[in-house]
Amino acid sequence: MVLRIEDLDRDRSRDEYANRIMSDFEMLGLTWDEGPYYQRGRDEAYRAAFEALDAKGLVYPCFCTRADLHAASAPHRGEKAVYPGTCKNLSAEDVCERLQARKPSYRLIVPAQEYALEDLVQGPFSQQLDRDCGDFVIRRSDGLFAYQLASVVDDAGQNVNCIVRGMDLLVSTPQQIYLQDMLGFGHCTYAHVPLIVGDRDRRLSKRDKDAALDELLATYKSPEAIIGHVAFITGLISEEAPCTPEELLNDFNLDTLVDLFPDRVQILWR
């Protein structure tokens, strides 16, 4: 288990936030074997990957604003916005002119090719990259490297071979596999687990304090009771009772978890 603090956004990342995350994990009995690793200070590794992709002719500047992108491709709920390639074929003169007005982000050209995976929880999933995703950002207009690029570089550098994360990131996985191929990295195994949501499919948020640990402790009285509650509502145990993560491992079976959620999407927080 690797703990990585993904602090690419310098303005929103503070040491006290990372320290709180780690202390919360430790209180709940969620331990890690390596780390913590941080993304700050890793710009040279990301830059090397960016330049390798650029040298292959796969990168171009994009001057589209968020408003431009929304107007061009406003997805329905649950769909991913597809970049229409607005800036892909700009002439050198057009690029020079637009550089006078704003700094560009940089997009990675994707092929008209299907990328597929066999997810351990969600089953088979694939994307035709040009149709279902479009060229995607690997460096933002503020100069920061994008999550897609940084996470793939870090996974390879930290020898990550199995990634377990929320269902909401499944749509990003074919793009990350494509990046792995373009950078000469090996592939990972993936398991995208259902999300725990609030009423009316509302995503839990820190802003609403849906899962604030201090409030959960006030309600359930102990870290073990919190773990037991989450294990119960997700079907890992049949009766709600305090337990530790280590105790859950004794009877954990991935096939059972898959069978519990035939729609494999989400679980209501209650």
Query: In this structure, are 91 and 155 located in the same domain?
Result: yes
Q: Which of 150, 173, 193 is the last residue of a domain?
A: 193
Query: In this structure, are 210 and 166 located in the same domain?
Result: no
Residues of the chain falling short of pLDDT 50:
74-78
The per-residue b/e assignment along 64-74, b for 16 or more CB within 10 angstroms, e otherwise, is beeeebeeeee
Q: What are phi and psi of 114, to 5 degrees?
A: -90, 130
Asked if 189 and 163 count as a contact pair (C-beta separation under 8 A), the reply is yes
233 falls within a domain: yes
6 falls within a domain: no
230 falls within a domain: yes
Query: In this structure, are 47 and 164 located in the same domain?
Result: yes
Query: Looking at residue 268, what is its pLDDT?
Result: 62
Cis before 111 (ω within 30): no
Query: In this structure, are 93 and 223 located in the same domain?
Result: no
Q: Model-level pTM?
A: 0.88
CA distance 152 to 177: 8
Asked if 28 and 223 count as a contact pair (C-beta separation under 8 A), the reply is yes
CB atoms within 10 A of CB 196: 18
Query: In this structure, are 133 and 202 located in the same domain?
Result: no
Q: Of 40, 30, 36, 33, whose CA–CA distance to 9 is shortest?
A: 40
Query: In this structure, are 184 and 77 located in the same domain?
Result: yes
29 falls within a domain: no
Query: In this structure, are 236 and 140 located in the same domain?
Result: no
Query: In this structure, are 172 and 107 located in the same domain?
Result: yes
Q: What are phi and psi of 184, to 5 degrees?
A: 75, 25
256 falls within a domain: yes
Query: Looking at residue 190, what is its pLDDT?
Result: 96
Asked if 236 and 257 count as a contact pair (C-beta separation under 8 A), the reply is yes
* Total number of domains constituting the chain: 2
9 falls within a domain: no
Q: Report the CATH number that the domain containing residue 135 is assigned in CATH.
A: 3.40.50.620
Q: Which of 165, 193, 221 is the last residue of a domain?
A: 193
162 falls within a domain: yes
Q: Which of 163, 193, 223 is the last residue of a domain?
A: 193
220-242 per-position pLDDT tens digit = 999 999 999 999 988 888 899 99
Query: Looking at residue 69, what is its pLDDT?
Result: 65
CA distance 231 to 220: 13
The per-residue b/e assignment along 238-251, b for 16 or more CB within 10 angstroms, e otherwise, is eeeebbeeebbeee
Query: In this structure, are 89 and 189 located in the same domain?
Result: yes
Query: In this structure, are 162 and 224 located in the same domain?
Result: no
Query: In this structure, are 68 and 162 located in the same domain?
Result: yes
Query: Looking at residue 75, what is its pLDDT?
Result: 44
Query: In this structure, are 141 and 256 located in the same domain?
Result: no
Q: Where are the alpha helices (DSSP H) in 144-269?
A: 147-157, 173-183, 213-220, 223-233, 245-251, 254-260
Domain encompassing residue 226? 196-268
DSSP state of 212: -
221 falls within a domain: yes
Asked if 98 and 64 count as a contact pair (C-beta separation under 8 A), the reply is no
Asked if 116 and 123 count as a contact pair (C-beta separation under 8 A), the reply is no
At 70 the three-state DSSP class reads helix
